Amino acid sequence: MNKQLNTETMKTTKRNKMKEWAEFHKMPALNMNDVTYKLRRRVMAFIYEAKKLADFDRVDIRITENSKDGCLGLAAMAGGKSKGHAILIPIESVNMNDDKLRHIVFHELLHATRNINHDDNCPLMQPALNSKTNRELVHNTFVKYF
Ligand SMILES: [Zn+2]
């Protein structure tokens, strides 16, 4: 089997796994098209912002057509069977303002890349979205986990 075919197979397997995982959580991922790429770019901008603050593994991001039970984002925990590195963000979160979306993305990044659990005493890792969130608060809290 040639190398290129192997790489293609790996990509397909990974894509299917991601799709199955999203469907299992009743948050089906949107097909990747121009509109979805544009939505995902907004999320990726915050991943790049986080990359400037800390070093973490590559994460797969998918935008989902709906949230489930008011879930603003979902991450495969780094310590779990899926080994993390995957985050689902529903469209309604992508449509939030910068402060809220940044908060959601950084929160999910800590689940997915550092295996951090919820913490009621942490302004970033408390389960509900912090209404007083802002860039400085999110950045300062995020770096403490590295
Ligand atoms: Zn969470």
Examine the pLDDT at 81 and tell me if it is beyond 70.
Answer: no
Evaluate whether 27 touches 69 at the Cβ level (below 8 Å): no
CA 143 to chain centre: 17
Residue 1 is predicted with a pLDDT of 47
Using the mean position of ligand 1's atoms as its centre, give its distance from the Cα of residue 10 in Å.
29
Using the mean position of ligand 1's atoms as its centre, give its distance from the Cα of residue 119 in Å.
9
pLDDT tens-digit map of 84-96: 788 999 999 999 9
Report, as an integer, the average pLDDT of 93-109: 97
Joined together, the tokens standing for residue 52 give 């400037």
Residue showing tokens 């949230």 = 67
Q: Are strands 86-90 and 74-75 parallel, antiparallel or unpaired?
A: antiparallel
Using the mean position of ligand 1's atoms as its centre, give its distance from the Cα of residue 12 in Å.
28
Question: Does the reported pTM lie above 0.85?
Answer: yes
Using the mean position of ligand 1's atoms as its centre, give its distance from the Cα of residue 13 in Å.
26
Using the mean position of ligand 1's atoms as its centre, give its distance from the Cα of residue 73 in Å.
7
Q: How many CB atoms lie within 10 A of CB 124?
A: 21
Residues 6+ apart with CB under 8 A from 109: 47, 50, 56, 59, 75, 87, 142
pLDDT tens-digit map of 12-47: 777 778 888 888 889 899 988 999 999 999 999 999
CATH of the domain at 95: 3.30.2010
Using the mean position of ligand 1's atoms as its centre, give its distance from the Cα of residue 52 in Å.
22
Domain that holds residue 93: 2-143
Using the mean position of ligand 1's atoms as its centre, give its distance from the Cα of residue 125 in Å.
7
Evaluate whether 139 touches 84 at the Cβ level (below 8 Å): no
Using the mean position of ligand 1's atoms as its centre, give its distance from the Cα of residue 74 in Å.
7
Q: CA-CA distance, 126 to 13, in Å (whole number)?
A: 34
Domain total of the chain: 1
Using the mean position of ligand 1's atoms as its centre, give its distance from the Cα of residue 34 in Å.
28
Joined together, the tokens standing for residue 3 give 């190398």
Evaluate whether 129 touches 103 at the Cβ level (below 8 Å): yes
Residues counted in the chain? 146
Using the mean position of ligand 1's atoms as its centre, give its distance from the Cα of residue 72 in Å.
9
